[in-house]
Structure 1
Amino acid sequence: MNHRTTLAAVLAVTAGLTLAGCSTSSDKPALKVVGGFMPQPVNDMAAGFLVVRNNGTGDDRLTSVTSPLSDDVTIHETKNDVMRKVTSFDVPAGGELDLERGGNHIMFMKLKKQPKQGQKVSVELHFEKAGAIEVDLPVKETTHNPKKQ
């Protein structure tokens, strides 16, 4: 191998390592959950609502939700008044994920018990980068909708 080939190889490796080091190592999400609640369920299903704020410099993604209230907890999006199960929601850097009535939400099926107004429901939000965050959702009256107050 001649000196030019060796120099080119060293520069290519160095440039690759430099780019790899600068990409996502400092791009970290900083998540905070606020405004969570669950309307008191009237049957064996319930919905959960909350806002995830990301004050960090990296994007994240909500990938699942678990709760002792149900073994069947999913996340749903609502578009054109049609609800469908999704595998994840993005939480952009410097932005938020808003799970609200009439929109995207957490869905609890086959409830193990009926939580009553004034109680709290424990949930664990699972994120791609930030890991798990535990949150207690206060149970509110069935018609509670803070966006319309």
Structure 2
Amino acid sequence: MKCLAPVFRYSRAALAGLSMAGSLMIGCISSANAAMVSITDPAVRAVPPTSTNTAAFMTLQNKGKDDIKLVGVDSSIAARVEIHGHRHEGHKMVMFKMDDLPLPAGKEVRLESGGYHIMIMGLKKTLKEGEEVPLTLHFSDSDAIDILAPVKPLMETMSKDPHGHMHH
């Protein structure tokens, strides 16, 4: 597995063993039964200082043989973090909280503006462009991956449809 960003990978059992040994390995760590999830292009949307909420985006690829789910996300910079989706209701896009996000084996799932994303709510500080936001992604197989997602300007975190229209 290729690391494209600083990543701490552990299973809860492995973490207990590492903690008892007094050290934690940094980098890509995987075990025979660990989910093989790669994370690319993580980003957190920069927001005005008056805003207490923002969103994180990335691409998740399950390189394993079994389907798994993203079941939660944590961050030390916010009161709470949720997995969200969008759906059309009439002429409006409605955002909703999801209990989990399926990651089919061998498939890629994009978290992007106008689709699945991670909502970061109750920010404890103003995020500045270029800072890195710590996020811990929790999976249904009890694995977790820690990443640092850079804070990027609004326009860099907007997705474009095939016709060139911006979505947020």
TM range (shorter): 0.7 to 0.9
Partner of 1:115: 127
Alpha-carbon contact 2:132-2:151 (below 8 Å) kept: yes
Alignment TM-score, normalising by the size of structure 2: 0.69
Please point out which of 115, 120, 124 is paired with 1:103. 115
Of the three residues 118, 130, 135, the one matched with 2:147 is 135
Q: Distance in 2 between matches of 1:66 and 1:145?
A: 20
Stretch moving more, 27-36 or 87-96: 27-36
SS of the equivalent of 1:35 reads: strand
Q: Contact 1:60–1:130 (CA<8 Å) still a contact in 2?
A: no
Summarize deviations over 1:12-49 as a string: whole Å, max 9, x none: xxxxxxxxxxxxxx986311111110110221110000
Aligned length: 124
Between structures 1 and 2, the one with greater strand share: 2
User: In structure 2, what is the equivalent of residue 65 of structure 1?
Assistant: 73
Percent identity reads 33
Query: For residue 58 of structure 2, what is the aligned residue in structure 1?
Result: 50
Residue deviations 1:41-87 (CA, integer Å, cap 9, x gap) = 22111000011111111111000000011121111111111100010
Contact 2:71 2:100 in 1 (8 A): yes
2:136 is the counterpart of 1:124: yes
SS at match of 2:106: coil
Q: Report the structure number with the largest CA radius of gyration.
A: 1
Q: Post-superposition, which runs of at least 4 consecutive aligned residues in structure 1 deviate over 6 A?
A: none
Q: What's the secondary structure of 2:150's corresponding residue?
A: strand
TM-score by length of 1: 0.77
Unaligned runs of 5+ in 1: 1-25
Q: What pairs up with 1:15-54 in 2 under 5 angstroms?
A: 29-42=35-48, 43-54=51-62
Stretches of structure 2 lacking an aligned partner (at least 5 in a row): 1-31
How big is the alpha-carbon RMSD for the aligned residues of Structure 1 and Structure 2?
1.9
